[in-house]
Homo-oligomer: A and B are copies of this chain.
Amino acid sequence: MSNKTNNLRSVEIRNIMSLAMKPDIISFAGGMPDNNLLPVQDIDRIYHSLTLREKQTAMQYSPTSGLPSLLQSLHNYLKEKGFPLKENKLLITTGSTQAINILTKYFVNPNDPILVENPCFIGALSAFDSYQANIISIPLNEDGIDIEYLNNQLKKQKPKFIYLTPNFHNPAGILYSYKTKEKLIEKLQGLDIPIIEDDVYNELFFFEEDKKHLKSIKEINPEGIDVCYTGSFSKLLGPGLRLGWLLVPNHIYEECEIIKQSFDACSPSFTQVIADKFLRSGYVYNYIDKVKKEYRKRAKAMEKALKKHFPDYAKWVTPRGGFYFWIELPKNIDVTEVLKKSIEKGAVFVTGKTFDPEGKINNAFRISYSNSSIEKINEGIPIIAEAIKEVCEDISCT
């Protein structure tokens, strides 16, 4: 039974979703791929290639751990990327949201402290709330979590885990530097604090030269730290398939599978059959290549528009992958006011306090370029710019 914070957070998510889906408004609110970029033709080809037996498999129960052929193809896919598959086990989940929920149920009893970034992915916060975790947040810098702040917090309590999104953070848009990842690992050595590493955007990098920084903590494979890694097909293939995965140390795996079993018995076989073929056929590589080029173009167009229309006091870190710009305004601005005016004018985004575990900090907001054409970006950014300026007219905004 959830508490009030959780209710508010959930109502917020619902509001975002419904605003993001309104047809008569330009929406930078949703963290989803553009409908026009979804690999519909690949899926058609895959469906047509299915044998009768594969279609039957698609309509039948699968093992709780996942469809064996998908587990195999995903294993190969991750192995090729350099993930340590020997000392870890894969569990197919119903989206990465379920993966995070499973881990929270595994680790957290009511009032247990956990550490998260600030800002933080709202879907994860919602899961943490639902188990009555005591959420403690650590600020993010441009190159990752604030190590000093983390250090101070670790002196105060031992958290059940630390939840991180090091690559193309939602909503902050940043990429942790490799150095920050190293420092973090060093800091956690010997402390017996597991990491939940949420890494659903890692394929969507814009620059080859970032590959070193992109190496996930799971891939770095630090000895003595339990890294519970969550991945997703939502950004790789389509959220409507509702498929993600957990890659966790062997000693954590079994209990996770048991929790998953009581949640929904198994993930949809229908979409598991499709995801398996998507990996095996190699369609996945062309598709990622295509979409990340497109997202890069959009990010570039959005930054150009931001530079042209936004006032100088609006600050951001240029995203190097993923879906988001995170815009920071002077501390005395209430972004909720900006949003109100912006909606009146026809553009919508998500306010910063949505992603603040304490629900307070509200001089920032998230705008997503993943779901809007360049045309819509050029139309929508000036609207938000105007809204910001109007709110700032009466107060000192420098």
Give the residue of B13, B61, B237 whose beta carbon is less than 8 angstroms from that of A261: B13
Interface flags for A240-262 (1: CB within 8 Å of B; 0: not) read 11100000000000010111011
Interface flags for A34-48 (1: CB within 8 Å of B; 0: not) read 011011100110010
Contact segment of A94-102, A135-143, A194-202, A304-312: A94-102
Within 8 A of B (CB), among A69-94: 94
Taking CB as reference atom, which chain B residue is nearest A11? B258
CA distance A263 to B262 in the complex (A): 12
Interface flags for A5-41 (1: CB within 8 Å of B; 0: not) read 0110010011001100000000000101101101110
B269 touches A240 (CB 8 A): yes
List B contacts of A55 (CB < 8 A): 38, 40, 43-44
CA distance A126 to B238 in the complex (A): 31
A177 interface contact, C-beta 8 A = no
Total interface residues in chain A, CB < 8 Å = 67
Give the residue of B47, B109, B242, B259 whose beta carbon is less than 8 angstroms from that of A267: B242
List B contacts of A6 (CB < 8 A): 258, 262
Interface flags for A127-169 (1: CB within 8 Å of B; 0: not) read 1011000000000000000000000000000000000000000
A376 interface contact, C-beta 8 A = no
A191 interface contact, C-beta 8 A = no
CA distance A320 to B64 in the complex (A): 31
B40 touches A61 (CB 8 A): no
A105 touches B1 (CB 8 A): yes
Give the residue of B1, B126, B240, B267 whose beta carbon is less than 8 angstroms from that of A262: B126
CA distance A263 to B55 in the complex (A): 27
CA distance A2 to B69 in the complex (A): 29
A285 interface contact, C-beta 8 A = no
A346 interface contact, C-beta 8 A = no
List B contacts of A101 (CB < 8 A): 262-264
A17 touches B63 (CB 8 A): yes
Give the residue of B2, B17, B36 whose beta carbon is less than 8 angstroms from that of A61: B17
Question: Which of A13, A64, A240, A271 has the most chain B CB within a 10 Å cutoff?
Answer: A240
CB A36 to nearest CB in B, in angstroms, measures: 8
List B contacts of A61 (CB < 8 A): 17, 30, 32, 234, 239-240
List B contacts of A269 (CB < 8 A): 239-240, 242
Give the residue of B1, B59, B94, B237 whose beta carbon is less than 8 angstroms from that of A109: B1
Judged by DSSP, the binding face of A is: helix
CB A256 to nearest CB in B, in angstroms, measures: 11
List B contacts of A238 (CB < 8 A): 58-60, 270
Taking CB as reference atom, which chain B residue is nearest A1? B106
CB A12 to nearest CB in B, in angstroms, measures: 11
B255 touches A2 (CB 8 A): yes
List B contacts of A17 (CB < 8 A): 61, 63-64
CB A108 to nearest CB in B, in angstroms, measures: 9
CA distance A44 to B50 in the complex (A): 11
A123 interface contact, C-beta 8 A = yes
Within 8 A of B (CB), among A298-317: none
A265 interface contact, C-beta 8 A = yes
CA distance A57 to B21 in the complex (A): 12
CA distance A94 to B241 in the complex (A): 12
CA distance A55 to B43 in the complex (A): 9
List B contacts of A7 (CB < 8 A): 258
A221 interface contact, C-beta 8 A = no
The 5 residue pairs across chains A and B that have the minimum distance between CB atoms: A59-B238, A240-B269, A242-B268, A35-B56, A59-B240
